[in-house]
Amino acid sequence: MQILFFKALWGMSEGATLRDKLRLAKEAGFDGIEAAIESWNPAEMKALCGEFSLRFIAQIFPESAEAMAEGIAQSLAAGADKIVSHTGRDKWSFERGGDLFRTALKLEKEHGIPIAHETHRRRMLYAPWATARYLEEFPDLRLTLDLSHWCVVCESLLADMPELVDAALDRAIHLHARVGYEEGPQVPDPSASEYRRHLEAHEHWWDTLKQKREADGTAVLTITPEFGPPNYLHTLPHTNQPVADLWKVNLWMRDRLKDRWRLA
């Protein structure tokens, strides 16, 4: 199985233009980029990704069937080969959420592009129990795995719900490699010793995901180290200065996984 690493443009202050950002991602050894399609011109994104030989994963944020269709159309115009969807709202009824997932699955099949719905606070897949219900209802639903959000929602490292975590791992086709903790979705620096048990919990989940995709014959697993800027990244009081270097943190997380999995 091939494992590809993507650089999130979210929070990337390095580079004044999109061209600069893509050049820096390429020079840093990333295989592609991930970005919210609404923030960029699709034609420019497609052209520049082609110029730098970078793959593109688009993020969309649909809360209606129309927004889902528009987000997919823009993603295709930008040359995306996968879509990460922040789908719906946590406050919706199961029936309303199901209607949007039906639309997504129909459009995914029509357009032939994989859509990975993210396990994210505020969205329909905000918690393990809510996600499990949708996974049971929709066997073809696929996920972007970001368990850092569930750690916050559950105020735990999910030790008491392994079967719900495993259900999500079974369906994940994309990984956001960010380490969360009981009170927040992002530790300031995953290399810090005080967050060792949080890092180890996430790495156990990520190892299991890799093993599952290898076992089912998946050709490519995509991963985005997705530590983000303030207010995800902690800051010092009164100065608002970040307590860690975001660029270095994301590089550390990628290189940590490469070393752990003995990737070239």
Q: How far apart are the first and last CA of the chain?
A: 13
Tell me the average pLDDT across 62-90: 98
> What span, in angstroms and rounded, lies between the C-alpha atoms of 6 and 149?
20
pLDDT at residue 116 above 90? Answer: yes
> What span, in angstroms and rounded, lies between the C-alpha atoms of 203 and 131?
21
pLDDT of residue 38: 94
CA 84 to chain CA centroid, nearest Å: 7
Average pLDDT, the chain: 97
- Percent pLDDT > 90 in the chain is 98
Residue-wise pLDDT tens digits, 40-52: 999 999 999 999 9
CATH homologous superfamily of 2-260 equals: Divalent-metal-dependent TIM barrel enzymes (3.20.20.150)
The answer to pTM > 0.75 is yes
pLDDT of residue 98: 98
Residue 173 has a CB neighbour count (10 Å cut-off) of 19
pLDDT of residue 135: 98
Q: Do strands 2-8 and 172-176 pair parallel, antiparallel, or not at all (unpaired)?
A: unpaired
CA dihedral 15, 21, 24, 25 (to 10 degrees): 150
Q: Is the dihedral of CA 145, 146, 149, 153 positive or negative?
A: positive
pLDDT of residue 197: 98
> What span, in angstroms and rounded, lies between the C-alpha atoms of 217 and 103?
27
**Vertex 159 angle, CA 84 and 145, to 5°:** 10
Q: Where are the domains of the chain?
A: 2-260
pLDDT at residue 14 above 90? Answer: no
pLDDT of residue 15: 83
- pLDDT class for 137, splitting at 50, 70, 90? very high
pLDDT at residue 264 above 80? Answer: no
Residue-wise pLDDT tens digits, 177-211: 999 999 999 999 999 999 999 999 999 999 999 99
Residue 4's SS3 state is strand
Residue 175 makes CB contacts below 8 A (sequence gap 6+) with 144, 145, 146, 206, 209, 221, 222, 223, 224
Tell me the average pLDDT across 23-41: 97
The owner of tokens 């050049």 is 23
Tell me the average pLDDT across 161-170: 98
> What span, in angstroms and rounded, lies between the C-alpha atoms of 206 and 226?
14
